Amino acid sequence: MIPLKVLVAGGFGVGKTTLVRTLSEIPPLLTEQAMTSASVGVDDADLVPDKSTTTVAMDFGRLTVDSSLILYLFGTPGQSRFWFMWDELARGSVGAVVLVDLRRIDDCFPAIDYFENRRLPFVVGVNRFPGADEHRPDDVRDALALGPDVPLVWLDARDHDSGRSALVALVQHALARTAVAS
């Protein structure tokens, strides 16, 4: 069996924990803590008003794809004060799914920059928050300044099949990049 480490990254409140929880075949390890008054004015929860917790270290889950492939999922914290964790989490990973909430598009740029700067394969997953389907893929790609080689997928972090499709797109993208580099 081939184990692959995959990151789930993106901004605050974009659905990283939800995606790990949805995909994991084991009870996921979650490091969520209650949001406190210290986050007021720092973490913009206006568009995710039901959010009461936040990841402070990482989320962890596992997904067996088939008899030969198992994915270990590591959800990164979204707030900038926890970005120091990303280097440790990224070590040894095959790549990442960078989640985007198109209502708060600026929040995804640090994650995209992180993976581009380290030349780690990533796919951009547009999480289907309200209004996401109103945007054409070419417009989203332009707004994110994505190269033509970066896969762009729409998903619902609450739906196992669409989340799994994003992971498949990432693994295929990483394999294609490896084949080109060889």
- The two counts, helices (H) then strands (E), for the chain are 5, 7
Which candidate, 77, 88, 83, places its Cα nearest to that of 33? 77
What H or E segment, with its residue span, contains residue 40? Answer: none
Mean pLDDT over residues 150-155, rounded? 97
Q: What is the pLDDT of residue 130?
A: 85
Residue 83 has pLDDT above 80, yes or no: no
Average pLDDT, the chain: 87
pTM: 0.86
Q: Is the pLDDT of residue 178 over 90?
A: no
Q: Rounded CA gap, 21 and 32, in Å?
A: 12
3-20 residue pLDDT tens: 999 999 999 889 999 999
pLDDT at 157 over 80: yes
CA 169 to mean position of chain CA atoms: 13
Residue 46, C-beta contacts closer than 8 angstroms, at least 6 positions apart: none
Above 70 in pLDDT, residue 42?
A: no
- Residue 66 near residue 92, CB atoms below 8 Å: no
Q: What is residue 86's predicted lDDT score, i.e. its pLDDT?
A: 85
Q: Which two tokens stand for residue 117?
A: 């700067």
Burial-class residue 121 by CB neighbours within 10 Å (0-12, 13-18, 19+): buried
| Per-residue pLDDT, 44 | 58
| pLDDT recorded at residue 52 | 56
Greater model confidence, 54 or 63: 63
Question: How far apart, in whole angstroms, are the C-alpha atoms of residue 100 and residue 111?
Answer: 10
25 pLDDT above the threshold of 60:
yes
Q: How far apart are CA 25 and CA 50, in angstroms?
A: 25
Average pLDDT over residues 58-78: 91
- Distance in angstroms (rounded) separating the CA atoms of residues 59 and 25: 14
The structural domains of the chain, ordered by start, are 2-30+57-181 (3.40.50.300)
